[in-house]
Chain A
C-alpha cells in the first residue's frame, strides 16, 4: 500500500472538468484532443504532479496518461543531475561506477548537447 495524500479541492475541480468533457455524449475525439491540449497547456509542474496522483488514485486512465506524457515531455533535454534533484533521487554509485554505466549506455549520450549531460 502506498499512502497517498488527500486530493485537494483545486485538483479535484480540475479532474471533474476533465471528466465532464470526456463523458460528453456529442464530443468528438478531435474535440476531446483539442480540449486536452488547452486543458494541459501552461499547467504548472506542481499542478501536473497533483493531477497525476489524483488521476492514478481515481483510476482515470486517459487523464493519467496525458499528464504523465506532459511531465515526460517537460523532462526532455534535462540533465541526469536535474532529474535527481527534481525527484529527490539519491545516487549510490561511485564515480567509477558512473563512468562504467555511461560506457554501457553510451548510445544514450551520443550526439547530445554538452549542457544536457
Chain B
C-alpha cells in the first residue's frame, strides 16, 4: 500500500508542478479508474430471510386466488370418437373414410354445476401433433394474405398444387382443417352456438386476406378435413383461422364457438354431431368441451397449487435459514475468518 501511495504522490507532484507538454499520463476519471459509484449488495441473513418471506407472502395469496378461480370453472368434457362409431364396426378407419355412411351421432351431456355465460365450446384433440415439423412448416402465409401471391406455394408441400394449379389455401395445415360439427340443444330447445369472433382479430384483419378466396381446395384423392366455401374470403373462414393457429402441444383445444345462455345444474344438453374428422388412423381422441372461463382461462389447478407450494417452500426456507443463522452465527466482515488468519501459521 505504501508503495502505491508513494507512486501516486510522486506522479501527482510531477504533474502538479509544471504541466508537462504532451504528457501521456492518462486522464483521471472515475470511469477509467474503475471507481464509478456503485451499490454493493451483500446477502446478509436479514436479506435472505426477508426475500424468502416476501416471496412467500406474495405467492401464497396468488396461489389461493388462482386455485379458487380454477375451482369456479365448470367444465364438461365428453370424449366421443369411440362412442360415435356404431358398435358393430370392426374397421373404424374404413368407416370414417367411407363418405357414403352418414356420420351423425347424438350425445347427451349433464351440466354438473351452474354455468354462467359465456360458455365456451371447444373441441379437444389428443395425440394430434399440430407441432410436427412436417406439419407446421407446410403453409404459405404470403398466399393467405395476398391474392396476388396465390402461386406462392413452394413451402406447402405435399399439398401445394394439383396438376400444376395452386391450391388456395395450400399446405397440410389448411388441408387438415377440423370438420366435425356440433349442434347443441337444451331442453329440446336449440342452443345457439355463436361462431363469430372465435379467431384472433389480428389474424382476420392482417393475416388472412379479405380478397383471397379458396380455390382448387380439397380436390385431391385424400380428403384431409373441412372443405371451404369458395365464395367466402379466407378472412371470414374463422374455423380455418382458428385451426391455422397451430397448437403448441400435441393435446390441445380449439375454440368452436360460444353459448350466450346460462346453464343450471343438472340441465341436460343434447349434442348432435357430425363425426367427420379422421383421428382413427393414428389413434387420436376427440372430445367436446364446454367450459366457463375466468381471468386464468379454463380449469387449471396447477398454477394455484404451484404458487401455494412455492410460497410454502419459501416460508420453510425462511424458517430454515433463520434456524441456521441462529445455530451458526458469523460476524460479517470479521477478518479472523480470512484463511490466512484462521490457521495459526499465517504470515
Partners in one complex: no
Residues of chain B having any CB pair with chain A under 8 Å:
none
